Amino acid sequence: MTDDANAPWLIVGLGNPGPDYAANRHNVGFMVVDLLAERIGGKFKRAQKAQAQVVEGRMGPPGPANRRVILAKPMSYMNLSGGPVTVLRDFYKVPTARIVAVHDELDIDYGVLRVKIGGGDNGHNGLKSMTKAMGAEYHRVRFGIGRPPGRMQVADFVLKDFSSTERKELDYFVDRAADSVECLVAEGLERAQSAYNS
């Protein structure tokens, strides 16, 4: 699939469906795309072809930097995210280089962002599934959640809600992550990296 200048962007928030997971660290990708949907004035609806919820709209300033976007939340559970994302990619004819995965990242301190393209999955099951389905050359907005304290297992840590201390700053960090996605889509990777990679 070629990188057509008029092709839409597919912004995928990674997480697990259902209220039990909604406030988990692992669901920060959902939180960011929920905010982006709010900003573009859209409501998530069930995708016709994929096991996902989607919002279609436009992002960025008026003029040539205004882009068509599809915001998506796979409803397949994290470790099967690649299936729905691939269906959406094919349905909307999105080049892989215009796909952005927004996800939690253990190896970065809480609230720190890293915007990048390609690379490994670092043990993240959502990325692992996406990369297996379509290769690694998609963008990532990595939202730092830090490492589990003491001897807590990684799986337990990511499936717990943010702590009360973390929640005090969570809205600010989610807002900043949403800003970084908008910057990436409108102004490109280098600009987003220089503005948001702390």
Residues of the chain with pLDDT under 70: 1-3
The pLDDT score that the predictor gives to residue 1 is 42
The pLDDT score that the predictor gives to residue 2 is 43
**Cβ pair 71, 36 in contact under 8 A:** yes
- CA–CA separation, 143 and 64 (whole Å): 28
pTM of the model: 0.95
* Residue with tokens 């949403």, as numbered in its chain: 178
Give 67's strand partners: 59
Active-site residue 26, yes or no?
A: yes
**Cβ pair 133, 82 in contact under 8 A:** yes
- Amino acid at site 33: V
Give 177's strand partners: none
The pLDDT score that the predictor gives to residue 60 is 82
